[in-house]
């Protein structure tokens, strides 16, 4: 296998594919694919107050999290805008978090600032631990995941390659788009709120206590609609060139949104996650860089 690497963007330097992206996608769908996610940031939170502390800081109900169960959470600012996206597991003594590498510095600074007098210790451990997407049926977080010591990474990769197929980010992102999973800094911008992106009742627990930004989430949920909504677009596959991240979405002559992630899926063809104005008709014929696109609803328009 000859690896082809992502040349630019948030995943620059990550393996894109090994020459047969459709084969890799089929392996992932069959539960026989695995991926090296060692570029992801790993942060730990130890201490007896870790779960109640994270419960107060994030959108997820962390206080009742059972050991060895993966979950996801967001950290919002006071106005309800998404700042961080976390994927977490507790091992009974420590919470392990993986997140975007670009967010590592700002996230650990925020966590350390919020310690106060509680018995918690947040720490970056990306240099000593790594993340893998291991074989198995896909879950709604992009896993199953495994965190291992970096000095065991080579041994573990060799072990996985004996029986399973390594896949790159092409396959992972195609699966993510197909499953309607929004990603930080792809489908989010400076004004994103959870209600727009399908996070309610998964990364955002709707019956937990207070957390920063909860007032916005609750108010929009109970009294109105978010100004934008996440959709999956099916693009015309007869066009040779495809739009890129950030490309503008048009309804007629009117700009109504932007492309977050575009992927070429082995069954569905070119698909994308886009964030568009809520008032855009659900049956509207859209275009992106001149490419016709139809909507698949994720967040309801009404």
For residue 1, pLDDT beyond 90: no
Q: Where are the beta strands (DSSP E) in the chain?
A: 4-5, 15-17, 33-36, 41-46, 71-76, 82-90, 94-99, 121-124, 129-133, 145-149, 165-166, 228-235, 248-251, 254-265, 269-277, 286-288, 291-297
Average pLDDT of the chain is: 95
Report pLDDT for 81: 98
Residues 118 and 191: their CA atoms lie apart, in Å, by 31
Report pLDDT for 238: 80
Residue 112: both structure tokens together: 């350390």
For residue 205, pLDDT beyond 90: yes
Residues 88 and 138: their CA atoms lie apart, in Å, by 16
Reported confidence tier of residue 154, pLDDT bands at 50, 70, 90: very high
For residue 121, pLDDT beyond 80: yes
The mean pLDDT value for 148-160 works out to: 97
Q: Which of 266, 250, 247 is nearest to 258 (CA)?
A: 247
**Is residue 117 classed as helix, strand or coil in its secondary structure?**
coil
- The helix or strand, by DSSP H or E, that contains position 25, with its residue range, turns out to be helix 21-30
For the chain, what percent of residues have pLDDT higher than 70? 99
Residue 181: both structure tokens together: 């999973």
Reported as a single tens digit per residue, the pLDDT across 9-46 is: 889 999 999 999 999 999 999 999 999 999 999 999 99
Reported as a single tens digit per residue, the pLDDT across 56-96 is: 999 999 999 999 999 999 999 999 999 999 999 999 999 99
Residue 235 bridge partners (DSSP):
293
Reported as a single tens digit per residue, the pLDDT across 244-256 is: 889 999 999 999 9
**Higher model confidence: residue 242 or residue 141?**
141
């Amino acid at each position: 296998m000859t690896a082809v690497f992502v040349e630019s963007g948030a995943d620059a330097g990550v393996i894109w594919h090994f020459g047969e992206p459709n084969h890799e996608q089929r392996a992932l769908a069959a539960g026989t694919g695995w991926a090296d996610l060692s570029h992801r940031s790993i942060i730990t939170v130890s201490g007896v107050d870790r779960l109640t502390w994270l419960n107060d800081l994030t959108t997820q109900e962390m206080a009742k999290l059972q050991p060895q169960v993966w979950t996801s959470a967001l950290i919002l600012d006071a106005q309800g805008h998404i700042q961080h996206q976390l994927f977490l597991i507790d091992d009974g003594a420590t919470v392990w978090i993986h997140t975007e590498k670009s967010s590592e510095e700002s996230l650990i600074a925020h966590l350390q600032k919020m310690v106060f007098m509680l018995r918690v210790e947040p720490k970056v451990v990306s240099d000593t631990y790594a993340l893998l997407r291991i074989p198995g049926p896909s879950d709604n977080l992009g896993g199953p995941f495994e965190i291992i010591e970096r000095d065991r990474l080579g041994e573990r990769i060799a072990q996985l390659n004996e029986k399973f197929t390594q896949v790159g980010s092409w396959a992972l992102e195609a699966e993510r788009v197909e499953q309607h999973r929004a990603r930080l800094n792809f489908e989010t911008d400076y004004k994103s709120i959870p209600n727009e992106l399908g996070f309610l009742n998964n990364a955002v627990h709707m019956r937990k206590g207070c957390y920063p930004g909860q007032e916005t989430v609750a108010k929009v949920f109970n009294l109105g609609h978010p100004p934008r909504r996440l959709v999956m677009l099916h693009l015309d596959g007869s066009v040779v060139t495809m739009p890129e991240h950030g490309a503008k979405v048009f309804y007629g002559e009117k700009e109504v949104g932007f492309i977050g992630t575009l992927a070429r899926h082995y069954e569905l063809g070119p698909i994308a996650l886009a964030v568009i104005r809520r008032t855009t008709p659900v049956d509207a014929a859209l275009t992106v860089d001149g490419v016709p696109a139809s909507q698949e609803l994720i967040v309801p328009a009404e």
